[in-house]
Amino acid sequence: MRWSVVDLLLAVVLLSACATRAVPKPVSSLPQTATASLIVSDRAATVIGSAPLPEHFQSDHNYPPIWLKDGELAVPGVVGQESLVLAVSAAEPRRQRIIARAGADGLPNGALMDFAASPDGATLATLVADRSRVLLMARPAALDAPWQTVTALPASRSLAAARLNWIAPKLIAVTLAGGDWGKTTSEDTLALIAWSAAPAVRFLDRLQCPPVGLSYSPDGHFAVTQSDHPQMEWLIDLRTQQCRELAAAQPLRVLEWAPDSASFLYETVGDDGVPGVYRYLPARGAGSTVAVSSGAAAYADDAAIIALGNDNLTPVRAARSPDGIIIAQIAVQHPQQGELIVNSLGLPLTPIILSRSSMRFSAASQRALIDTAAVTNQGTAQKLIEYSYRTHAAAVLATAPPDEELTTSWSPDGAELAVVDSTSDPNSLTILAPHLQ
């Protein structure tokens, strides 16, 4: 695939108290490296390695690749009807092993229901359904040691789903849903487990709202319910077990919490029928618009908001011309200072493409990865774009076919990117080292 000038991005920042535009400075990036599903710009990124995943293995796109200690990544997925988790070497992606599989290495033969790693990537945890209970089990990530039971939680025969979240180094949350996942029943369970040599389990048994698809604040004090159905969404105070109705359009999907837990970004469809990204402040019980018809936003470590959008795009324009061409921009908002910086990328896309875009930010390297698409003479092409929060420069790292299902994650030090393609046959994993600073 040939690269056009819109593939070559370098934004110049203009600081002011109001929105300003920067003219992109093109940089040649003609040399390329092709992987199974990506065309990588050699001047924007180095391909550390790329390899197919095992035959018939289908990665789960709900999980980004999980970086583990000692340079491996965990990739959950299925082979047929069997759930399992692979560990893949970041330095040599062809080195792969199975680290979680029902009936192996101490795990019982029940259903493998969820998987997580500790924040430092040193410990693995999983939930396994075993008769009338769900076992929380753990093992070191770097050793081929057997799984050990941490605790057993009672479960009903109508168990529909189980979710595991490692909120903090010493705090795990487990939700079990019985029957209808979207309704509160006596069979719904939310438990907080203090991680230690003698784990302590605290059941939140006084909740008056459903613990559905919870997104947890970094300080472990709050959780927001999320569902795919039009129903009330709630803010749960995990300390008091109080549920407070969210004054926001519903259903919603939480994108990210602020580092200080004072606010969160979420995606939803507004009353005007147009999707967008919003910011919610629990202390005020109110939200505000971040980007119209966008799905790509994240917090920087100083609580600034980085969002992909277009400052001329209104809900009315997005609704009337969802396929109309607009030029992508990256906006940096400092809500406390009232400052807004807008960098024009020069990338043509549409409101529909914008709404399907996503963003991942690395606090370690101060860089964001934007997964979006551009309109070209041949149709559309998926683009992975790196944005530097320090320099406000941007560059296209790689191009992929428009329908590729890519999941991505930054390494703990923010120096490398893992990209799993769950559409290619077989699935593949690629490790990139972006060049922006």
pLDDT in tens, 167-208: 999 999 999 987 554 454 556 889 999 988 889 999 999 999
- Can the peptide bond before residue 211 be classed as cis, meaning omega within 30 degrees of 0? no
What phi-psi label fits residue 100: left (phi over 0), alpha (psi between -120 and 50 degrees) or beta? beta
Per-residue confidence (pLDDT) for residue 187, from 0 to 100: 63
Q: How far apart are CA 318 and CA 277, in angstroms?
A: 14
Per-residue confidence (pLDDT) for residue 51, from 0 to 100: 97
Q: Inform me whether the pLDDT recorded for 312 exceeds 50.
A: yes
State the average pLDDT over residues 408-416: 97
Per-residue confidence (pLDDT) for residue 261, from 0 to 100: 96
CATH code for the structural domain at 5-434: 2.130.10.10
Q: How far apart are CA 164 and CA 175, in angstroms?
A: 7
Q: Inform me whether the pLDDT recorded for 326 exceeds 90.
A: yes
- Residue 315: phi and psi, rounded to 5, are -55, -35
pLDDT in tens, 8-28: 332 322 222 333 333 333 333
